[in-house]
Structure 1
């Protein structure tokens, strides 16, 4: 009996302890559950705004400090537009933190809009906020007090310098080299060489100077007797031709002696028989040396040299005084010689200048290619577009960002192809025209809420628009596109024929149509250029690589 009572007390005590432990575990689990359950709240600072005003949408998240929280990214608040996503504020309270994330929203059309439920991911689990209604009111303008003005035109900015100064420096350098060559060979006053000084002397003085120069030669030392006698006889023959007017250079020895004797007998040349005989002996010796390879002795060579000088002197003395006409002829000869030398110098300078230009041209062709150098020297419209300072700008709303060779201007004319496509707003900006060297157009469309957007229909409308502008026989190819900035779109490209209304000529051109659906709008870029224009293709690639859709975040 005692054992039974003891056992009952033991079991009752044990049961009470188990109940207490279960109660403690239950409380701890409730506390742990309460700590691990995050909460998400949302609010707006106003539910009624004017067109273009901003409201702030706020998330308030309470979660453990170890929780991973991801807020919405991108245009998830449509039909309202995200202007800016503000940085996240964090408040830590013991083992929890409170996160506050704000978004600045706006809308440019009046009406009542429903903000959809927003999703916040916490530890890979979605939490949703309630939807909200926002009223966007129009701004009433009293036109009796405030006049309406036209939209201001594009502001003109100074065009950047670009790279033209590099080509200017190259041109100046080439001009300086050519000018230096002209100065050195043409305009510079240079001292005459010994031969040029001798050539400008009168025939008698020239003959004596040439004989003196022959004495300083190395013909005798080097046993070049044929060359020595050839030059010796040519000196006296040239003198006789110029001063005595005998065709001596082409005459044989006997013919020349006969002509001199005839002049002596006629009284035109007062020279004695002994001088003519000595001259004949020298000519005969020269003939033996030149044609029979005879080797004269040194005394004979000295005698013949002195004989030739005496013949020149005696012939000069035997001639009558030169007439005024002969003196004039001598002056004309000197002037003609100078002109001949001048022309020769000019030829050298021109040849040197052409050589410099050809070498420079060859270097540039080797480095940059023939087409690039040709287009740089003679000019190329699209190459100039590619080389000039480009402009980066955002166009339309929702905006598309482009970098282009020139600012695109707004075009207020809406083509027929756009009408009836369900567009709410349509904005277009362009540069050039369909038949110019390069044409580029950027357009942005938004669609009515009740209309279903059809991307294929919008692309077809763009092709129809090109057709309306004069494009015929279009070849159409299509592929997916991903820009370097990570934006996905559609690319339609091919060739077409365009009639230039100014020349009535048909040109084959290439076109590219890039289409995007971003930020609740439809953006398109159309580019048209000559089919085989490599510079235009570079422009297309550069514009495509610059495309972005900046919303601010």
Structure 2
């Protein structure tokens, strides 16, 4: 950004002398008519580098007049490091006001404290200029050793509260994993029914007969329930070892099948065994469907007969072949795999449901886009939620909070302006980045003729954007006031620029702030993506943190 200022100087001594005398006469007349007197003084005109000069302005005026002293960096090339409260004394209808400043300079040389303006009522008074000398501090290197500059020490960034969220997440994952293990994967103790189911058919049948003996069906004359259990025991045993449709077959069908197997020499059942089974099954049918009521002794006899016939059936059954044993083994392995597969499917379904429920819950509370951006990552969101930095930049200082520290940049100053102004610049990012911020401070050693033209500065700033490749710049201006009351001009809108090597154009928002005092220009430039809610929150937070403070604070 360039500033061209045309300075006109007149070096005619006689004319300068006449103007000086005329100006002095004018001041005397003003003092006479306003009954005011302004004087200035310093406690010393010779200091060492960094020492303080006490500069006082004394005003004597009528009590009805309003007096305004200079504030800010009006003492350049000296720096104001203190501005004390006004000391006021009253004598009858006159005020005596004393304003004290602390000044210093950190470079050796001879300097001139410029004349200071004092407003009394509607009149302007100027103090006398003062020449001061700043000397170097002599160092006796024979007694005082010289040391290298200490290296930069890296400051550890605050860890934040991320570890709390990590612990909470690990706890929830561990809890869910434990519950899944306990209810799905844990090898649970077998129930009584499962233990019975694992027994061989013969042992299950014998155990069922024992449990039937322990029942109270016969004592309570519940013959129908008794015979139902008894016939179910023999049918289950035959279903597993002889004929696999024994449970659903009628009595006649089952007996016919047993006879057929006997005649086909597939099983060596005796005719007596088949006959006994047939008699008990038919008697049970009569009890269940015809309400027949045999006596208890016959029922007990039928139970013993079934017990004996189960033993007979077992005796005539052939030993299982190796192929049958192998098939049984494969069947058990298939069952185990099926059970494991069922556990995996259950675990997967529960995990997916928990993830969906968690995502839906966070989406309801924080918003769908926020959750997606948190999971997928979003540059502006990371800046917004990162560790912000509050710092002062330039002199007079601009206090501002930013998501990243601004780095000092060296800006080229035209040679013809080197003596008239000093510029400092701090920035993060660039115009073509997703987000950028720049803070510039320009200190004018010689104020341009007519003062600092802020409209011209804004126009030159916009031209600078065009030089960087911006186009289609939309510009709006409005008044801007910082939280601590500093007033400036806000220029904002949108612009477009071409993305390198892509052939496409991108639109971004921009905001420029301009503040001026008597000899200081302070500027801020912000750029951020359009339609980015996180970037808008970043900008609002930055603008609400801007404070302009005089160096005396």
Query: Corresponding residue for 1:320?
Result: 318
Question: 2:29 matched to which residue of 1?
Answer: none
Aligned length: 501
Aligned match of 2:117: 117
Q: Secondary structure at the match of 2:262?
A: helix
Cα distance change on mapping 1:212 and 1:467 into 2, 3 Å? farther
Q: Which structure 2 residues correspond to residues 68-467 of structure 1 after superposition, within 5 A? A: 72=69, 74-75=71-72, 77=74, 79=76, 81-87=79-85, 100-106=98-104, 112=112, 114-119=114-119, 130-135=126-131, 156-209=154-207, 229=228, 239-244=237-242, 246-248=244-246, 254-280=252-278, 297=293, 312-414=310-412, 424-447=421-444, 448-451=446-449, 452-467=451-466
Q: Distance in 2 between matches of 1:427 and 1:71?
A: 30
Q: Find the aligned partners of 1:236 and 1:153 in 2 and give their Cα distance.
A: 95
* Partner SS for 2:475: strand
TM-score by length of 1: 0.72
User: Displacement of 1:390 after TM fit?
Assistant: 1.1
Q: Which moved more, 1:482-491 or 1:459-468?
A: 459-468
| Structure-2 separation of matches of 1:227 and 1:359 | 52
1:307-330 deviations in Å (ceiling 9; x for gaps): 766554433222122334434444
Q: CA RMSD in A?
A: 4.9
> Structure 2: how far apart are the matches of 1:415 and 1:225?
113
User: Is it true that 1:530 corresponds to 2:533 in the alignment?
Assistant: no
Give 1:161 deviation, angstroms.
Answer: 1.3
User: C-alpha distance in 2, partners of 1:234/1:189?
Assistant: 32
TM-score, normalising length from structure 2?
A: 0.72
Residue 370 of structure 1 and its aligned partner are, at CA, apart by 2.6
Shift of 1:344: 3.7
Residue 350 of structure 1: how far off its partner (Å): 4.2
- Comparing 312-321 with 108-117, greater Cα deviation is found at 108-117
TM-superposition CA deviations, 1:451-485 (whole Å, max 9, x none): 54221222233333333334333333332222222
Q: Which runs of no fewer than 5 residues in structure 2 stay unpaired?
A: 1-34, 142-148
The CA distance in 2 between the partners of 1:84 and 1:177, in whole Å, is 62
Kindly provide the CA deviation profile for residues 147-202 of structure 1, in whole angstroms up to 9, marking residues without a partner as x. xxxx9998642111123223212311222212212331345342112232223222
Alpha-carbon shift at residue 53 of structure 1 (Å): 6.5
More displaced 10-residue stretch of structure 1: 332-341 or 68-77: 68-77
- Between the aligned partners of 1:415 and 1:254, the Cα distance in structure 2 is 116
CA spacing shift, 1:546–1:46, aligned 2, 3 Å? same
> Given the superposition, is the C-alpha separation of residues 69 and 497 from structure 1 closer, same or farther in structure 2, using an over 3 Å criterion?
closer
Displacement of 1:411 in angstroms is 2.3
State whether residues 67 and 118 of structure 2, in contact with CA within 8 Å, keep that contact through their aligned partners in structure 1.
Answer: no
1:505 to partner: Cα distance: 4.9
* Whole-Å separation in 2 of the counterparts to 1:218 and 1:443: 101
Contact 1:154 1:409 in 2 (8 A): no
Counterpart CA distance in 2 for 1:218 and 1:369 is: 66
Match of residue 34 from structure 1: none
Task: Map Cα deviations across residues 387-441 of structure 1 (whole Å, 9 max, x no partner).
Answer: 222111111223211111111112225499x999998233222222334332222
Tell me whether 262-271 or 513-522 shows the greater mean CA deviation: 513-522
Deviates most, 405-414 or 505-514: 505-514
**Secondary structure, aligned partner of 1:479:** strand
| SS in structure 2 at match of 1:160 | coil
> CA separation in 2, counterparts of 1:256 and 1:419?
120
Rounded Cα–Cα distance in structure 2 between residues aligned with 1:500 and 1:282: 95
With over 3 angstroms needed to count, the CA separation of the structure-2 counterparts of 1:458 and 1:88, relative to structure 1, is: closer
Distance in 1 between the 2:290 and 2:210 partners? 24
SS in structure 1 at match of 2:274: helix
Deviates more, 1:277-286 or 1:392-401: 277-286
CA contact (8 A) 2:484 2:548 kept: no
| 1:86-108 CA distance string (max 9 Å, x none) | 35567899999976542123578
CA distance in 2, matches of 1:49, 1:87: 24
- Kept in 1, the 8 Å contact 2:39–2:127? The answer is no
C-alpha distance in 2, partners of 1:212/1:542?
83
Q: What secondary structure is seen at the aligned counterpart in 1 of 2:514? A: strand
The Cα of 1:498 is off from its aligned counterpart by: 3.9
Distance 1:218 1:499 in 2: 94
Mark the runs of 5 or more structure 1 residues left unpaired by the alignment. 1-36, 146-150
Distance (whole Å) between structure 2 residues aligned to residue 310 and residue 379 of structure 1: 77
> Counterparts of 1:2-17 in structure 2 under 5 Å?
none
Equivalent position of 2:545 in the other structure = 546
Mapped to 2, the partners of 1:463 and 1:537 lie a distance apart of 22
C-alpha displacement of 1:70: 6.4
Deviation at 1:269, TM superposition (A): 1.4
Q: 1:520 to 1:276 in 2, by over 3 A?
A: farther
